[in-house]
Structure 1
Amino acid sequence: MTQKQLIHIGTIGRPHGVRGLVRLHPYLENPSDLEDFDELVDDHGDRWTIHWQGDKVAALYDSGKKRLDNRNAVEHLTNRKLFVPKERLPEPKEDEFYFSDLIGLQAMLAHEDQEDTVFGVVQFVHDYGAGVSLEIKRDQGENALIPFTKICVPEIDIKAGWLRVCPPHEVEVPPQGQRDKS
């Protein structure tokens, strides 16, 4: 299964107490839904199920359904990302999408003359807690980070494979005469 087919839905945090519980950081609209998945796979290929024990505190069960029951057993799991196959998630509603759907889209730059040019390709979607940003791989120069806001990304067409970007002034854009006509 490729990384594109797996959706990051949570991250194992640091141990909580001495009985094998961990802090769990879910990335679902409803965190309790994380418990409904029969099996999650982490970024090391290990398989887990979880059972909530309290607010953002969970017990982990390995692929043999054995509960990890002491602090030493879970300490090395801190910061492991948990994934689920995309086909196990509900189909997004119209005008909704998963962030993973943005990866690989062509970023088009709108100019005053209404002519779009290729700005780059969305390589990563970052969310560090202060807002989502898109990392766009550019053919020339460094990758660009664009805030994922309606102002900076006013239009998205997943089916056609592109999105329109209006970078903030801090992002360098080549002058109109030097832009790439790819």
Structure 2
Amino acid sequence: MEKSLKCATNQEFLTIGRIGKPHGIKGDVRVYPLTDFPDRFNNLHKAYIDGTVITIAAAHPSNDFIIMQINGFDSREKAAALTGKFLKIAKSDAAPLAEGEYYFFDIIGLDVFDENGVFLGVITDILKTGSNDVYVIEKTTGQLLIPALKKVVTNIDINNKRMDIIMPTEN
């Protein structure tokens, strides 16, 4: 799953990396992956920075980052201008997922209903806790936190922007 920060996605693009400082003097940059699919950089030829398409001449892993050569950035000074910017791809180019798996950008914005069909609110964020994700549901009276577990989430319908849950009970 692509890493999710609420600000990391928008309607058209999916953020896959943050550009760090230049690497060497020929215009290469360090890219810190923000994706659960770091292998995508091996065959990445087109991406976007600030909504502008770029062509990637070469990319290879190095420690915790990717060294990337971008066409048109042939000096350290030009590469330095990219420091801190986000590398994005079109959502249509996102890696395919197995059945029952979803990207965060698919889940955020879903309407949530309980087992009785009562509208509970809208998912506004997803928290990564280590053991399981937690959906943040905005209600008119505040927030509701729901664990992303199969015994709680009974249905996800991306096309109809709906999630059905069984409210967990306190023991």
After TM superposition, the score normalised by the length of structure 1 is 0.63
1:118 aligns with 2:119: yes
Aligned to 2:121, what secondary structure does the other structure show? strand
Aligned to 2:76, what secondary structure does the other structure show? coil
Equivalent of 1:51, from 54, 59, 64? 59
User: Corresponding residue for 2:101?
Assistant: 96
In 1: Cα distance, 2:94 partner to 2:124 partner: 22
Residues 24 and 124 (structure 1 numbering): CA distance in 2 closer, same or farther, change over 3 Å? same
1:76-155 paired onto structure 2 within 5 Å = 77-78=83-84, 80-110=85-115, 115-127=116-128, 131-138=132-139, 140-155=140-155
In 2: Cα distance, 1:137 partner to 1:99 partner: 16
For the 8 Å contact 2:31–2:68, the answer to whether it is kept is no
Residues 8 and 153 (structure 1 numbering): CA distance in 2 closer, same or farther, change over 3 Å? farther
Residues 16 and 69 (structure 1 numbering): CA distance in 2 closer, same or farther, change over 3 Å? closer
Residues 59 and 123 (structure 1 numbering): CA distance in 2 closer, same or farther, change over 3 Å? same
The structure showing larger relative contact order (alpha-carbon pairs under 8 Å, at least 6 residues apart) is 2
Give 1:24 shift: 1.0
1:56-109 deviation per Cα after TM superposition (whole angstroms, max 9, x unaligned): 3223445x5324637x816x723x433211222355443333221112211112
Query: Relative to total residues, which structure has the larger strand share, 1 or 2?
Result: 2
Residues 18 and 126 (structure 1 numbering): CA distance in 2 closer, same or farther, change over 3 Å? farther
In 2: Cα distance, 1:16 partner to 1:130 partner: 36
Q: RMSD of aligned C-alpha atoms?
A: 3.6
Give 1:162 shift: 1.0
1:108-159 deviation per Cα after TM superposition (whole angstroms, max 9, x unaligned): 122xxxx121111122334476753323222x12233433333443431223
Aligned to 1:121, what secondary structure does the other structure show? strand
Aligned to 1:87, what secondary structure does the other structure show? helix
**Which of the two has higher C-alpha Rg?**
1
Question: Where in structure 2 are there 5+ consecutive unaligned residues?
Answer: 1-8
Residues 52 and 133 (structure 1 numbering): CA distance in 2 closer, same or farther, change over 3 Å? farther
1:154-165 paired onto structure 2 within 5 Å = 154-165=154-165
For the 8 Å contact 2:33–2:66, the answer to whether it is kept is no
Percent identity among equivalent residues? 20
